[in-house]
Amino acid sequence: MSDRVQDRAPPMAVAPPSWREKMEPWFFILPSVILLLAIGLYPVIYTLVASLQSWVMGMGPPSFGGLQNYAHAFTSSDFGHSVLRTLVLIVITLPIELALGMMIALALDSQNFLVLRRLLQICLVIPIAITPSVVGLLTQLMFNQQLGIINHLLGYIGIPALDWLGRPLSAYTTVLIVQIWEWTPFVALVLSAALSTVPQDIDEAAVLETERWWPRFRSIQLPFMWPGITAALVFQTAFTIKEFDMIYTIEKGGPGTATETAVMQIERMAFRGFDVGLAAAESILMLVLSILLARIYIRVFYREMD
């Protein structure tokens, strides 16, 4: 015991880190921190401050208005309806996008359909690559009752020309269809990436165990996919809440306010009505809603597999 103690080298005196050594890590991350603060935090703080002001551009300088903009936003049926339309858009499109995205991801994962896999990979990129405003303009043309190709094609199977964009419900349905078309490929790609995290040995063992796809999917693939599914949900919810250009170019939120989502209503308040204070308050409320939904998704769906 004592030999051991004697063998042990005397502890070396470690000099305390110098100021420069202490600060060195901070210097490395400082540019990123400054950038994040400038492009992330500053606009949020600016919006927060604006939301507490009575500020209509061109009608005099801003003045402190307390919470009156928030009170106005909460009692405004205009804003309330636009939030409701946004939530309905999320509730309807998200499950469909997930279901279709999952089917595409599984098809891509299948080794048996190489041609289908290549074809799907090409097709998936197309909707993502097209600018949303171009998607909106194409929708406007394709779904036009008199001139559009959709009604023309429906005519071949005996369906009379539908007034896709002229009535509130059908216009909203059109937006749903186009939204699903535009974003399903993105969900499919995210889920495809999640599917690739399934360990190959476990998956092969499952294939040896059973030829049925459902038990393999439910017990082996799905548990590994939950983080990917959660990410898809969070991203898609944020994308849907922010969706502007596509819906705007279809018919500016019309007919009436039938397709006006919350972000469009906020833009209308800020840049058509110039009520910056109210628009800022509504933006903050939508940010809170977005964070809240993301937290719920993470709490309900997020599970990690070892």
Kindly indicate which of the ranges 13-21, 128-136, 224-232, 270-278 contains the residues binding another protein, using the contact rule CB under 8 A: 270-278
| Binding residue (CB under 8 A) for another protein from 23, 57, 116, 205 | 57
Q: Is 97 in the site for another protein (CB under 8 A)?
A: no
User: How many CB atoms lie under 10 A from the CB of residue 137?
Assistant: 14
- In order of 73, 96, 188, 231, 233, the CA distances from 181 in angstroms are 32, 10, 12, 19, 16
| Binding residue (CB under 8 A) for another protein from 81, 242, 255, 301 | 255
Angle, CA 84 vertex, CA 150 and CA 270 arms, to 5°: 90
Q: Is 168 in the site for another protein (CB under 8 A)?
A: yes
Shortest distance, position 27 Cβ to another protein, whole Å: 34
Q: Which 136-165 positions form the footprint of another protein (CB under 8 A)?
A: 144-147, 163-165
Angle, CA 181 vertex, CA 217 and CA 110 arms, to 5°: 30
Kindly indicate which of the ranges 33-41, 80-88, 117-125, 245-253 contains the residues binding another protein, using the contact rule CB under 8 A: 245-253
# chain residues binding another protein, by CB under 8 A: 29
| Binding residue (CB under 8 A) for another protein from 166, 202, 203, 301 | 166
d(CA 83, CA 245): 17
Residues 6+ apart with CB under 8 A from 278: 69, 72, 73, 269
Largest pairwise CA distance in the chain = 99
Q: Is 227 in the site for another protein (CB under 8 A)?
A: no
- Residue from 60, 47, 111 nearest 282 by CA: 47
Q: Which amino acid is at 101?
A: G
| Binding residue (CB under 8 A) for another protein from 40, 199, 215, 273 | 273
Q: Which residues bind another protein (CB under 8 A)?
A: 56-59, 78, 144-147, 163-168, 171, 251-257, 268, 271-275
